[in-house]
Every structure is written in C-alpha cells, then in structure tokens.
C-alpha cells in the first residue's frame, strides 16, 4: 500500500477556473517528494488539498489507505511549514512549538522535553523565550521547522520554506532539511519552483505545469530522460536548446535536416521515427551535449554572441538560424575575438513531437 | 541663520492646528472646569459638584450610563466580532450581506429614533410582525418598560445602530490578518474556537482595543435615544442631564454651571474608564508586532 | 491653449459677478424682510411663499423675503444692539410678546389697527397691548379641542351631548369605555412637552388661573384626572408621546383633549371616523390654554410704510382664512373670518376653535413671567408622575410643596 495516493484529483475555482486537472500520484512511505513547477502550476494547491486547507472538487486523497477528503487538517496527521513561516507573533518561540502539544493535552514535562529536543535539532535552543519579531528570517524559519517536527507527524508538508531566505542560507538550510528527513524517516512533500533545490533534495520529483503532471521521476530520470519539451526546458541550467528539423530518409537512413545542418540519426531510433518521415519535429540538445568541434567534423557553425566564463566551464551564447543557442564547454580556449564556432553533437539528444511536445525518443 | 529657522520650522507648521485646539477645545474645557469649581461670584467652591451628586436623578443617571456602557460594549463587541468573522470568509453573497449589515450606519440618529419609536408603538410594525408570526397574541407595550427593562430596550436599539461601525473596524483588522496564521492553527490541531481564542484575538488585540475604546467613550455619552423614546428624566443618563440643563431649562440660574459640572463629571469618568481598560490590556502590548 | 482657457474662465467669472452685482440696481422694486417664528414646517413655508406672498408682491410691487427661525429673540437683541435693523416685520408668539414690547424690539401700530374694519377677539389683548398701545395684531391662534373616535360614542353617559360636554361627563365617559374596552384616553405625558396645557385647560374650566398647582380649580382638575387614572381610563403609553396623533390614528386611543393642530391632523385623515368639539366645560366655562402668533413692526425698520401695507394685507379676512387653512389649522382670532368658513374638515376645526376663543375661558402662556418655562413644565410632570405612581391619589402636602416649587420660578 502506498503511503499517500491521489486519484483523479481535480480542483476548480468559481465554476470555471481549472486549477488541478485529474492528477494521479502515488507516494511511498518515507519518501522525499518534490512538487516542482513554475508559478501557477498548481503545486501549492495540490499540497494544500493534501493538508486539508483546500476543498477537493473531484477525486480522492488516501493517506495510509484511508480516504481523507472530508477530514479536518488536524485529523490527517500532517505537519506543515508555510512559505511565510506563519509563526504566531504573539507567542514566544517556546509556546509556538508547544501549542500543538498543549492541544494534544500532553503533560507539562513531556512538552518541555519535546520542545527542547526539536529546538536542539533546529539550533534555536537559545531563542526559546524570544518573540518572533526579535528573530531574523533564518531563525524564524528554523522555528517553523522545529514546530513542524515537534508533533512527530506521519507526513511533512513544506510550502517553499526556503524561498524567503538569502542564497547562502538557502543552501545551508537545504542540507539541514535533508538531514532532518533522514533522521525522522517521515514522508515529506516539498513544494518549490527552484529546480536546483528540487534536484538536490528530492528522492523523486513531480514536475507540474498548469494543473497537470508533466513527469514523475528521480532527479536523474527527469534530467536525462525528460519526457516532454516542458520538462526538458524547465530542468537544467542553462536549459535545453530546441531546434526545428525535418526527418528525411536517404537510402534507408534517417537524417534530421534543416537549413543549417543535416544530422544522421542513430539506427536504433528508426522504428520510433518511422511515422515521422518528411514531417517536422523538434530536436533538444542540452548545452553540454553540443561540443566544440573543428571545421572538418563540425555539424554547424554558430555565431558567437557572448562567452560567460564560469571558471570550471564556460557558457557560450550563440545564434543558430536566428535562434539563441547555449553551449556549455569545459574546453579552455581563448574566445576573445571569435565570431563563429564550429559545433557538433555528442550523440545525445531528445526528439520531440512538434504538436504534442512529447518525447518520441 | 538658516539653521536657526530649521529648528523652529516644525513648530511653526503646527501652529494653525494648535491655535484651533486652543481656541475651540482647550479654552472651553478650561472654562468648564472653572465654572464647575466656582460659585456664582467666581470664588472657589465645590458646591456644584455636591449639587450634582445630591440630585435626585444623579445616582440613576450614573448607574444607567455605566451599566449601559458595560453591557452594550460587551454585547456589541461579541456580536460585531462574530459578524466580522463570518463576513471575512468570502462566500457567495458575503458582499451582499456586508452591504445589508452596513445599512444602519447610513441612517442618522434622529431617524433611527423615529424608526424604532413608530416600530415599537402599540400598533407599530414590530408588534404587527410578531402577531402575524403568531409569537404573541396581544400587542406588547414595549415603551412602558421601566428600570432595567427600559435600559435593555435602549441597549438593543443602540446596538442595531452602532453594530456596523464596530464590525467594520474589526473586519478591517481581520482582513489584514495573514490567513496562514489561522491555517497553521488548523494544521497543528486547534479547533475553530481555539483558533479564535488563541490566535485571532491575541493578534487582533490592537484593533480590538481601538474598537472597544471608541465604543466605550460613545456609550457612556448616550442620551438622545433615551430622550426620543421616553422623554427627559424618565431613563436618565449623565449626558442626558447635560442636555436637560442646556436645552430644557436653560434659563434657570444654576443651569449653566450644572451642565458644565456634569460634563466635567462625564469627562472624568470616561477618562478613568479608558485608563483602566488600557492598563488591563497593557500586558503584552509592547511585544506584539505583526 | 492653457492660457486661452484660463483667460476664458477668468472672464466668465468676472462677468457673472458683474451681472450679479448689477442685477440689484436694475430692479427698483422695494423689498421687505419678514422674520417669523411661525411656519417652522417646510410645507408651511412653501405654502406661504407660493400662495400668500405673491399676491402681496404683485399688488404692491414689493419683493418679500421670508425667514423662519427658531430663536428670534437673539436676532432681535443683535439688531437692537447694533442698531442695524434688517428685519421689517416680525412674527412672534404671544408668550414672548410682553418681553419684546418691554425691550423695544417692536413699535406701536395703532394706526394700522384702526384703519382695519375687522375686530380682533380680545383673548390676547394682554399680550398684544401695553399701556393702551397695540404692538401686535394676532393673526394665528390655537386652542385645545376635544376629538373622539365614533366608536366611543355609544359609551357616552346618559343625556350627555358630545358637543356640549362637561368635564364630569367626559370623565364618566372615559371610565365607561375603560370598563368595557380598556384604557382609551390619550393624555400625552412626555416630559417637558404639553402635559401642563392639558390639565391647565381643565383647571381654567374650574376657575383656576394658569399656571397653578394647588388652587381650588386645579385641585378639582387633579381629582378628575386622578379618578380616571384609578379606573385605568388613561393609556400608560401616553408617557411616550408628546401628541395624540399616532395613538388616535391607530385607534389605540379613542378620546383626547389636545392642541387643535394635531387634532386637525387626526380629523382630516378620516373625517367620517371622528367627532370634533369644543373643549368640555366646567362650572366656569370651556377652559383652554390658547396661544397666538402676531405680526409686529420692528422698532428700527427702514420700510415702515411697506411693513404697514403688509400687515394690512395679512389682516384681510380672506387672506387670514387662506393662511390659516393652508398652514396646519390655526385660527385667526377675528370674528369676520367666520363668514369665510365652509364645511371642509379644516373649516370644522376652525369653527370649533373660534367658538372656544369667543365663548370659552382662555389663558395664554405667560412664559416670560417665569425664569424658565421648561422648569415650570417639569413641576407639572412631577405631579403627573406622582399621581400615576399612587394610582390617582395626590396628597395635599405634596401639591402644596409643588406649588412652592412653581412660585420659586416666578421672576
């Protein structure tokens, strides 16, 4: 039995705004699952429905096999970290953490013990008697974490908890959260729009776009095996380069052809591409899969617009057929006065259906 | 040269407002204190305070004013808060309900009195409604109420008029309240009631204090409803006594000083009440910052 | 473009100002300012301005400005002090006439009075004249009348004629109704309003002066009312009203004795439902408190001749009648007006009123003889409250004490 299951989950606002469109999702016990997507894709709405803060229009939510659609949030055994932390400003840090325990009618000693324990884990022991307004953003965030841990939930929900922190803090908190997850072993759902955050934290990532799921998979699967153009575009920085080509057949060999180049396609794809001969498709090249070449071996030339040296590698911004192309190369070459560069493919590419935007192979 | 002027410039800007206050507020207030503490010839005397306190209607007026303030503020705050909570949830028709709830605010006080006076008369629409609904058989003689019944009667009418203004202040405060505070409460196990008691009300404290103080001050000075419903002296209030001396018997030798002495008494009582209320709430005010 | 617009704006402003200023000079008609305390209701003012003044304005080529205010005394005081008399004609209540005459706000108008061939009833002479000189002409008077719902008539005592009742009969009538139907008399008792006028009228019928508390006449009046209270004939809700209109119209009350203007209001709403009569009588006659509004000429007016014409105009019987008919049912205390009366409800009311004025025992409201008239009213309210609380009984000591309170208030 899965720990959490969403069946046909749909959310419609005010009779005509479709926010979530029939999503199905299965989450394993103890998993760290990230809901990733751009603003408005529905990731937060989905989480809020799981929490019980939003009504479900259609579909079912099962936690440990039990249908929870009509249960109050507090009856679902979940805990949540809000984007704005939502630490109650009129209570001390101690009371913030202890509140849920007081409601559970825990004994005073037990409460003390638990609060001290989670405060230690979150590194906020010395702030227990302070008020939220006396804490920095990072400290407040840790209070929210401690509060969520104190109730020892079955399911942790985190709604972009790191978005309001500065970059350095964000990275360090990432590690703290992952460690916390390891320690407690509780199932965690994490919402973010930051793909590097998702990639570094998740066991599995659910990429969402306008209310539907584009792909579910491990970070590597998402990256190397992107199932749709959206995923290929969203994941990876710089993102995938898309090029329009036509599939042609020459002597039983398939080529991807456009005004700039003619790329021979590996035979193993012949079956899948059979129906696309003489049709337009979209090729996706990740920046690191286009390499600098020589005039003899090149596939095409790009006009160099800009070179961004990053130390360990360089990002070359160029133009192909008046479209921008970004290439990542670890070759150290003097790029100062170069106007064009010969480029070739290293054999790794995505082929997408132009209409459905789904990956063919 | 320039620096010297710079220092005094803010005070210079304040002068018009200050002048206004001195002429139209401080002067009359000082005058009132002066008149209440002197005899007719200007010599110091507390005889008028003694006259006021020993008046036959003083005890009743004091008791009515204080009771009215206490009961009406508690009642109005509770009902207004519940209405504000209700209206804060955006549901279908909540805007319409808000509009309806605000209607009493648009009706001027004198019109309110006429509305209820005709309504509560023996064959007025209230009795007619109750009879049609079969809740009573004979018309109730509402306005023959005496003593505490009369007081409650006036409190009800006042509540109807005043509820929207209290509710609006509380609603404004609620709408500024971050929704996630409540949601965190829901997640961490609080029932609706606990959320209101432990989260919403403490955070809303400054707004609540404002609303309550405003109502307290106004409630302690209520008088017009009593006069329009029952006439002068029937259900006395402190400010009703002031109106009596100023409007009904203005030519008596003592009227001027009596009304000013009463107003000094009212001012003192109001100020003391507000200070007590603020003291009681002083506890964590400094540390609540949203 | 902006400059052009600005110039046009300024020019038009200047032009309108110029036109405004010159318009006065162009018209050479005379003007008259009338300051009145009467006709406080907007409908009444509208009536006067639209139906009465135009006639005078056309005939005499005068522009009349009518100003109705509450506290004329302050205005008169200010004009006298500054010697800038903007008001030419003033209309005040009989209660304040003696004060105005004494303070020289008005001047004698015997010449006007003598030029008229109408006779004013003498009910208000003590107010309008002083030292043999007449300062005011009373044009609008009011008395108290009886009005009864037809449903009450079956309960009349044997032999009583509703148009010629005695107070004893009225009392028995009220008690008869109470025994069968419950309290049906409206006796408005809202504090500091009109309770004293109602009981004062009864007192006058029994020979008392007004205002008195413990005179023999008043003792009879209190006793009469006391019996009605004891027998539950008077509606308790009377304490909430300052006039009987609502109670009579809703038929909560069937019987009342009150100021003729509200009585007229009730009667006109459904003439077939009611009977109106002059006040009941006591051994001394039909007693009623009566008030009058009179016109006078201000002491320092610059338009004396126009003012005189205006007063003469108002004193024409047909004009008197029209004013009375159109403004809430007052009566002009002039014998010649009776001839103008018809059979309409308002005429009936006027007839009864005039009846009382001519043949009854009336007294004005001597407010200026007391330091504060409101305090006087308060004394009467105290007696009423005591009477009600004691089921109609009033102790002689109590009444004597209240009389002392009343006398304390005399100037």
Q: Residues A229-285: pLDDT tens digits?
A: 999 999 998 999 999 999 888 888 888 888 888 888 888 888 888 888 888 999 999
Residue B289, pLDDT > 60, answer no
Q: What is the mean pLDDT of residues C103-111?
A: 90
In chain A, where are the structural domains located?
Answer: 4-234, 241-353
Q: Residues A165-177: pLDDT tens digits?
A: 888 888 888 888 8
Nearest CA in chain B to C375: B249
Q: Residues C204-216: pLDDT tens digits?
A: 999 999 999 999 9
**Contacts with B, C 67-96, CB within 8 Å:** none
Residue B286, pLDDT > 70, answer no
Q: Give residue A347's pLDDT.
A: 86
Lowest-confidence pick of A94-108, B36-50, B108-122:
B108-122
CB contact B114 to C (< 8 Å): no
Q: What is the mean pLDDT of residues B114-131?
A: 90
Q: Give residue B77's pLDDT.
A: 95
User: Would strands A253-257 and A323-329 be described as parallel, antiparallel, or unpaired?
Assistant: unpaired
CB contact C381 to B (< 8 Å): yes
Q: Residues A8-66: pLDDT tens digits?
A: 999 998 888 888 889 999 999 999 999 999 998 999 999 999 999 999 999 999 999 99
| Domain A241-353 grouped into CATH 3.30.310.40 | no
| Dist CA A264 CA A294 (whole Å) | 18
What is the least distance, in Å, from the CA of C71 to any CA of chain B? Answer: 13
Domains A4-234 and A241-353 share a fold: no
pLDDT band with cut points at 50, 70 and 90 for residue B275: very high
Superfamily of structural domain A4-234: P-loop containing nucleotide triphosphate hydrolases (3.40.50.300)
Q: Give residue B280's pLDDT.
A: 84
Residue A313, pLDDT > 60, answer yes
CB contact B251 to C (< 8 Å): yes
| Dist CA C153 CA C168 (whole Å) | 16
Residue C404, pLDDT > 90, answer yes
At B119, list the tokens.
Answer: 């309504």
pLDDT band with cut points at 50, 70 and 90 for residue B287: very low
CB contact C375 to B (< 8 Å): yes
Three-class secondary structure assignment of chain A:
CCCEEEEEEEEEECCCEEEEEEEEEEECCCCEEEEECCCCCCHHHHHHHHHCCCCCCEEEEEECCEECCCCCHHHCCEEEECCCCCCCCCCCHHHHHHHHHHHCCCCHHHHHHHHHHHHHHHCCHHHCCCCHHHCCHHHHHHHHHHHHHHCCCCEEEEECCCCCCCHHHHHHHHHHHHHHHHHHCCEEEEEECCHHHHHHHCCEEEEEECCEEEEEECHHHHHHCCCEHHHHHHCCCCCCEEEEEEEEEECCEEEEECCCCEEECCHHHHHHHHHHCCCEEEEEECHHHEEECCCCCCCEEEEEEEEEECCCCEEEEEEECCEEEEEEECCCCCCCCCCEEEEEECCCCEEEECCCCEECC
- Among B90, B177, B182, B188, most A C-beta atoms within 10 A, so best to mutate, is B188
Measured in degrees and rounded to the nearest 5, phi and psi for residue A325 equal -125, 140
Average pLDDT of chain A to the nearest whole number: 90
Nearest CA in chain A to B92: A14
| Stated pTM of the model | 0.79
What residues of chain C lie within 8 A of the CB of B230, using their CB?
190, 239-240
Q: Give residue B85's pLDDT.
A: 92
pLDDT band with cut points at 50, 70 and 90 for residue B290: very low
What is the least distance, in Å, from the CA of B285 to any CA of chain C? Answer: 47
What is the least distance, in Å, from the CA of B117 to any CA of chain C? Answer: 9
Measured in degrees and rounded to the nearest 5, phi and psi for residue A284 equal -120, 125
Residue C385, pLDDT > 80, answer yes
| Dist CA A210 CA A208 (whole Å) | 7
What is the least distance, in Å, from the CA of B260 to any CA of chain C? Answer: 18
What is the least distance, in Å, from the CA of B248 to any CA of chain C? Answer: 5
All domains in chain C, ordered by first residue: 30-142+291-361 (3.40.190.10), 144-289+370-408 (3.40.190.10)
Nearest CA in chain A to B204: A90
Q: Give residue A254's pLDDT.
A: 87
CB contact B104 to C (< 8 Å): no
Backbone region of residue A245 per phi and psi (left: phi > 0; alpha: psi in -120 to 50; beta: other values):
beta
Residues 6+ positions from B46 with CB-CB distance below 8 Å? B37
All domains in chain B, ordered by first residue: 57-107+147-287 (1.10.3720.10)
Touching subunits for chain A (3+ Cβ pairs under 8 A): B
Task: Report the alpha-carbon angle A47-A53-A54, nearest 5.
Answer: 80
- Among B90, B177, B187, most A C-beta atoms within 10 A, so best to mutate, is B187
What residues of chain B lie within 8 A of the CB of A79, using their CB?
187-188
* Cα distances (Å, whole numbers) of residue C234 to B144, C165, C224, C281, C379: 13, 18, 12, 20, 20
* Cα distances (Å, whole numbers) of residue A139 to A85, A134, A135, A168, A245: 10, 10, 6, 14, 52
Residue C28, pLDDT > 70, answer no
Lowest-confidence pick of B235-244, B273-282, C248-257, C386-395:
B273-282
Measured in degrees and rounded to the nearest 5, phi and psi for residue C240 equal -95, 0
Is the Cβ pair B188, A82 closer than 8 Å?
no
| Dist CA C354 CA C350 (whole Å) | 6
Q: What is the mean pLDDT of residues A143-154?
A: 92
Is the Cβ pair B203, A89 closer than 8 Å?
yes
CB C147 within 8 A of CB C274: yes
CB contact B252 to C (< 8 Å): yes
Q: Give residue B288's pLDDT.
A: 44
DSSP string for residues in B146-183:
-HHHHHHHHHHHHHHHHHHHHHHHHHHHHHTS-HHHHH
- Identify the contact set of chain B against chain A, taking CB-CB distances under 8 A: 178, 180-181, 183-184, 186-190, 194, 198-199, 202-203, 205, 284, 287-290
| Dist CA C278 CA C162 (whole Å) | 9
CB B238 within 8 A of CB B263: no
What residues of chain B lie within 8 A of the CB of A146, using their CB?
none
- Among B181, B182, B189, B208, most A C-beta atoms within 10 A, so best to mutate, is B189
Q: Give residue A81's pLDDT.
A: 94
| Dist CA B157 CA C310 (whole Å) | 49
Nearest CA in chain B to C251: B123
CB C349 within 8 A of CB C260: yes
Touching subunits for chain B (3+ Cβ pairs under 8 A): A, C
Is the Cβ pair B121, C239 closer than 8 Å?
no
Measured in degrees and rounded to the nearest 5, phi and psi for residue A76 equal -100, -5
Q: Give residue C22's pLDDT.
A: 58
Residue C200, pLDDT > 90, answer yes
pLDDT band with cut points at 50, 70 and 90 for residue A335: low
Can you say how many angstroms the Cα of residue A148 is from the centroid of all Cα atoms in its chain?
A: 22
- Among B176, B184, B200, B202, most A C-beta atoms within 10 A, so best to mutate, is B184
Q: Residues C246-269: pLDDT tens digits?
A: 999 999 999 999 998 889 889 989
Is the Cβ pair A86, B289 closer than 8 Å?
no
Which of A58, A45, A54 is closest to A10 using CA atoms? A58
Residue C227, pLDDT > 90, answer yes
Burial of residue B1, with CB atoms counted within 10 A of its CB: 0-12 exposed, 13-18 middle, 19 or more buried: exposed
Nearest CA in chain B to C188: B231
Which of A14, A9, A34, A10 is closest to A24 using CA atoms? A9
Q: Give residue B4's pLDDT.
A: 74
CB contact C405 to B (< 8 Å): no
Nearest CA in chain C to B230: C240
Q: Give residue A26's pLDDT.
A: 93
Is the Cβ pair B186, A89 closer than 8 Å?
no
What residues of chain A lie within 8 A of the CB of B205, using their CB?
90
Is the Cβ pair A86, B180 closer than 8 Å?
yes
Q: What is the mean pLDDT of residues A113-129?
A: 92
Residue C278: beta bridge partners?
C145
Q: Residues B197-228: pLDDT tens digits?
A: 999 999 999 999 999 999 999 999 999 889 98
pLDDT band with cut points at 50, 70 and 90 for residue C27: low
Is the Cβ pair B287, A104 closer than 8 Å?
no
């Amino acid at each position: 039995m899965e720990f959490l299951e969403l069946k046909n989950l749909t959310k419609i606002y005010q009779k005509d705004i479709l926010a979530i469109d029939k999503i199905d999702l299965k989450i394993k016990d103890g998993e760290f699952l990230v809901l990733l997507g751009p603003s408005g894709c529905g990731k937060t709405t989905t989480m809020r429905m799981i929490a019980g803060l939003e009504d479900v229009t259609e579909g079912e939510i099962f936690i440990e096999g039990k249908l929870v659609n009509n249960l109050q949030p507090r009856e679902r055994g979940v805990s949540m970290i809000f984007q704005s932390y939502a630490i109650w400003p009129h209570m001390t840090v101690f009371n913030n953490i202890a509140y849920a325990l007081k409601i559970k009618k825990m004994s005073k000693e037990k409460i003390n013990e638990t609060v001290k324990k989670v405060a230690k884990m979150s590194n906020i022991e010395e702030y227990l008697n302070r008020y939220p307004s006396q804490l920095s953003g990072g400290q407040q965030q840790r209070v929210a974490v401690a509060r969520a841990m104190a109730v020892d939930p079955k399911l942790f929900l985190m709604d972009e908890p790191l978005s309001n922190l500065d970059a350095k803090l964000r990275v360090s908190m990432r590690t703290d959260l992952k460690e916390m997850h390891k320690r407690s072993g509780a199932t965690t759902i994490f919402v973010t729009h930051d793909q590097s955050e998702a990639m570094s934290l998740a066991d599995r990532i659910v990429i969402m776009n306008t209310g539907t799921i584009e792909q579910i998979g491990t970070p590597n699967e998402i990256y190397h095996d992107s199932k749709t153009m959206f995923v290929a575009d969203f994941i990876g920085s710089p993102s995938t380069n898309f090029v329009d080509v036509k599939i042609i057949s020459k002597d039983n060999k398939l080529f991807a052809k456009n005004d700039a180049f003619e790329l021979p396609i590996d035979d193993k794809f012949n079956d899948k591409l059979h129906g696309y001969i003489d049709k337009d498709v979209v090729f996706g090249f990740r920046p690191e899969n286009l390499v600098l070449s020589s005039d003899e071996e090149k596939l095409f030339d790009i006009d160099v617009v800009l070179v961004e040296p990053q130390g360990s590698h360089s990002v070359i911004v160029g133009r192909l057929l008046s479209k921008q192309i970004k290439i990542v190369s670890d070759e150290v070459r003097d790029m100062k006065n170069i106007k064009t560069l010969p480029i070739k493919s290293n054999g790794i590419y995505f082929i997408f259906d132009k209409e459905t935007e789904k990956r063919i192979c | 040269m320039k620096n010297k002027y710079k220092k005094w410039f803010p005070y210079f800007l304040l002068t018009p407002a200050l002048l206004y206050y001195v002429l139209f507020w401080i002067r009359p207030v000082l005058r009132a204190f002066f008149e209440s503490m002197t005899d007719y010839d200007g010599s110091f005397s507390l005889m008028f305070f003694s006259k006021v306190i020993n008046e036959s209607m003083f005890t009743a007026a004091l008791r009515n004013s204080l009771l009215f303030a206490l009961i009406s503020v508690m009642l109005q705050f509770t009902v207004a808060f519940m209405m504000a909570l209700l209206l804060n949830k955006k549901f279908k028709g909540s805007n319409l309900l808000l509009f309806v709830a605000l209607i009493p605010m648009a009706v001027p006080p004198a019109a309110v009195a006429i509305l209820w006076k005709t309504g509560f008369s023996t064959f007025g629409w209230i009795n007619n409604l109750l009879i049609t609904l079969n809740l009573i058989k004979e018309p109730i003689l509402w306005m023959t109420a005496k003593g505490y019944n009369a007081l409650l009667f006036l409190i009800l009418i006042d509540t109807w008029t005043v509820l929207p203004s209290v509710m609006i202040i509380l609603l404004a405060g609620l709408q500024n309240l971050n929704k996630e505070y409540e949601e965190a409460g829901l997640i961490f196990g609080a029932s609706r009631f606990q959320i209101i008691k432990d989260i919403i009300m403490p955070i809303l404290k400054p707004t609540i204090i404002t609303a309550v103080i405003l109502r307290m001050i106004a409630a302690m000075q209520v008088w017009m409803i009593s006069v329009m419903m029952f006439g002068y002296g029937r259900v006395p209030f402190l400010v009703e006594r002031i109106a009596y001396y100023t409007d009904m018997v203005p030519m008596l030798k003592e009227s001027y000083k009596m009304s000013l002495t009463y107003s000094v008494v009212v001012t003192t009582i109001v100020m003391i009440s507000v200070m007590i209320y603020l003291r009681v709430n002083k506890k964590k005010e400094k540390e609540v910052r949203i | 473009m902006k400059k052009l617009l600005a110039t046009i704006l300024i020019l038009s402003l200047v032009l309108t100002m110029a036109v405004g200023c010159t318009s006065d000079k162009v018209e050479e008609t005379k003007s008259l300012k009338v300051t009145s305390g009467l006709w406080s209701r907007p409908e009444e003012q509208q009536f006067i301005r639209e139906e009465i003044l135009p006639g005078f304005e056309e005939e005499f080529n005068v522009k009349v400005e009518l100003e109705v205010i509450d506290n004329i005394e302050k205005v008169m005081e200010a004009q006298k002090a500054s010697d800038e008399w903007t008001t030419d004609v003033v209309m005040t209540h009989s209660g304040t006439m003696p004060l105005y005459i004494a303070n020289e706000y008005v001047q004698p108008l015997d010449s006007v009075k003598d030029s008229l061939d109408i006779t004013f009833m003498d009910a208000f002479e003590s107010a309008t004249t002083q030292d043999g000189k007449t300062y005011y002409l009373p044009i609008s008077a009011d008395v108290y009348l009886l009005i009864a719902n037809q449903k009450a008539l079956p309960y009349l005592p044997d032999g009583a004629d509703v148009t010629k009742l005695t107070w004893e009969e009225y009392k028995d009538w009220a008690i008869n109704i109470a025994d069968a139907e419950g309290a049906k008399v409206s006796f408005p008792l809202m504090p500091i309003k009109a309770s004293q006028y109602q009981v004062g009228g009864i007192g006058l019928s029994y020979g008392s002066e007004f205002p008195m508390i413990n005179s023999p006449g008043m003792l009879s009046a209190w006793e009469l009312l006391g019996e009605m209270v004891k027998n539950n004939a008077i509606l308790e809700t009377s304490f909430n009203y300052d006039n009987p209109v609502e109670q009579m119209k809703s038929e909560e009350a069937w019987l009342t004795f009150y100021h003729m203007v509200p009585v007229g209001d009730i009667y006109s709403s459904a003439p077939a439902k009611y009977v109106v009569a002059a006040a009941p009588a006591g051994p001394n006659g039909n007693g009623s408190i009566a008030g009058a509004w009179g016109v006078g000429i201000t002491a320092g007016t610059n338009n004396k001749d126009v003012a005189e014409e205006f007063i003469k105009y108002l004193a024409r019987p047909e004009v008197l009648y029209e004013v009375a008919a159109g403004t809430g049912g007052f009566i002009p205390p002039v014998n010649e007006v009776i001839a103008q009366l018809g059979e309409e409800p308002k005429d009936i009311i006027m007839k009864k009123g005039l009846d009382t004025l001519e043949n009854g025992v009336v007294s004005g409201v001597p407010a200026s003889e007391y330091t504060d008239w409101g305090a006087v009213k308060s004394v009467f309210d105290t007696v009423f409250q005591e009477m009600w609380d004691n089921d109609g009984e009033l102790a002689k000591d109590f009444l004597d004490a209240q009389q002392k309170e009343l006398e304390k208030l005399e100037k």
